[in-house]
Amino acid sequence: MNRRTFLSLAAAAAPAFPQAPKKRLMVHADDAGMCHSVNVATIKALTAGAVQSASIMMPCPWVSEMAAWARENTKMDLGLHLTLTSEWVHYKWRPIAAPAAVPGLLDPDGYLWRDVRSVATRATAQEVETELKAQIAYARKLGIAFTHFDTHMGTLYARPDYFEVYTKLAKQNQVPCMIPRPSPALKAEMAQYPITEQMLARKGEEGFPLLDRLVTGVPGRTVEERKASYRTFLRELQPGVTKLIVHLAMDDPEIRSVTNAWEQRWADFLFFTSDEARALMKELDIHPVTYRELGS
């Protein structure tokens, strides 16, 4: 896709979203493919229309299950959750690229590093690009018709050269990627990253669709705390396009063995598959939106 075509696609989408007076919400489930519990919850939520979009972690052990479902449900808004970290203590994954090609991404045991800082201080932009291209190629091999890219744990925002790789690959693959519009509210969200407002704005000028707001989480650990936070979030939602990132899982022994944050994932699933959430969004005149529309 050349620059003219890319800009034309973005221009076609622009009138419907950044200037739209309606409250448009994308409830986006991260981490599909991570484990069976996450897959079951994500599939249930997507099928019920409780969430509009999700993204898949290609290096993870349960990606084949999610890919099989994606092949049978090609109208769903499924992206790639580009993954450069493996954060859990006893549940790990390795890069898809050959280890010799991405040594800076490997911990001493050959897995991806657990944290963003370890990646950012060791992996070159070329190694990052090599691994991401391998993940994209694997997604195509598995028959996933991906609609967008985003970044696991924000790693692709950890260095400007990583960010350039991220946006370059999105453009090459003719899909939108998660980029928020600069705003006062975004400063706190992005404070830990070296990506400036000017860099984000420049991507808008280059033709990338920008989200009006990006919300990566809400307060609360227990089911009731998170339900209360989501009620407040929905009632305070402003006009424009907002992406809300959620993390879904069932309540089962598998997810409890992976993370001590299992209750937060279970709470996200319970709220967004509830009649209460659907009724509240209808009452507040909140309209669902997906990357398919944003990137069309």
Q: With a cut of 70, which residues of the chain have pLDDT below it?
A: 1-20, 296
One-letter amino acid for residue 282 of the chain: K
Q: How far apart are CA 152 and CA 115, in angstroms?
A: 11
Residue 230: the pLDDT is 98
Q: For residue 157, give the CATH number of its domain.
A: 3.20.20.370
Hey, what are 256's tokens?
Answer: 């409890």
Q: In the numeric block, which tokens belong to residue 267?
A: 């709470």
What pLDDT is recorded for position 15?
A: 43
Question: What's the pLDDT at 190?
Answer: 78
Domains of the chain: total: 1
Q: How many CB atoms lie within 10 A of CB 191?
A: 7
Other residues' Cβ atoms within 10 Å of the Cβ of residue 266: 23
pLDDT > 70 fraction of the chain, expressed in percent and rounded:
93
Token readout for 96 is 């898809």
Place of tokens 């005149």: 285
Model pLDDT for residues 73-113, shown as the tens digit of each residue: 999 999 999 999 999 999 999 999 999 999 999 999 999 99
Quick one: 212 exposed, middle or buried, by C-beta within 10 A (0-12, 13-18, 19+)? buried
Q: 45 and 123 in contact (C-beta within 8 Å)? A: no
Half-sphere exposure of 252 (CA within 13 A, CB side): 12
Q: Specify the pLDDT at position 184.
A: 82
Residue-range definition of the domain harbouring residue 24 = 3-294
